[in-house]
Structure 1
């Protein structure tokens, strides 16, 4: 398997893990949500920060292994 193949497998596994965690975590405190009439606006700012930190750590450790 080439280097790109391994990278894509790791990225796929990371996305699956994030998807599973997203179902269990849901909305975190600090996420912005407005509802007015039939319109709902949801901006998951805290969730985005948490996912970014987790991905940064994962890719940092993957880089250390290489």
Structure 2
């Protein structure tokens, strides 16, 4: 889905976000999005590690 956007689409999205939220609010939104994404990745990695650990225990 996101692979079809391309560079012009990303630029358009950034311009629209800039118009809607303004230049002062945009860095805060980006930071919050980054922190959310980081937390999501950390959670999924933890879940994956738990599942792999369970599978290893079941093999023994």
Which TM-score tier does this pair reach, normalised by the shorter chain? 0.3 to 0.5
TM-score (norm 2): 0.40
Where is the helix percentage greater, Structure 1 or Structure 2?
Answer: 2
Where is the strand percentage greater, Structure 1 or Structure 2?
Answer: 1
* Structure with higher RCO (Cα < 8 A, 6+ apart): 1
Report which of the two structures shows the higher radius of gyration computed on alpha carbons. Answer: 2
